[in-house]
Amino acid sequence: MTHHTRGPWITDGRIVWADPDRDGNECIVAISGMANSPKNTADAVLIAAAPELLDALESILNLPVEDNGERVIPAGYLDAARAAIAKATSP
């Protein structure tokens, strides 16, 4: 499987880039039509949060399963998930 461009990703509300301090100005995606609308901005913000959302979910799923079949999720993992959700939903 090919791996995605490492995060964090940033956006101006129309274009999503890889972090220029890490990977230069690599464009991840340009939102359709380049129109600066609230919907396009929300889409760009959600896309830019994808690496953090993936990291948070993978971290939680990689926690050990207890004998009763449940996972104990430490607060730090939940904080990372909340931060990723906040990034995804805050244009």
Question: Over the stretch 43-62, which tens digit does the pLDDT of each residue have?
Answer: 999 999 999 999 999 999 99
Residue 28 class from Cβ within 10 Å (0-12 exposed, 13-18 middle, 19+ buried)?
buried
pLDDT band, residue 24 (cuts 50/70/90): low
- Please check the confidence at residue 82 and state whether its pLDDT lies above 80: yes
- Give pLDDT, residue 9: 92
- Please check the confidence at residue 88 and state whether its pLDDT lies above 90: yes
Question: CA-CA distance, 74 to 1, in Å (whole number)?
Answer: 30
- Give pLDDT, residue 37: 85
pTM for the whole thing?
A: 0.83
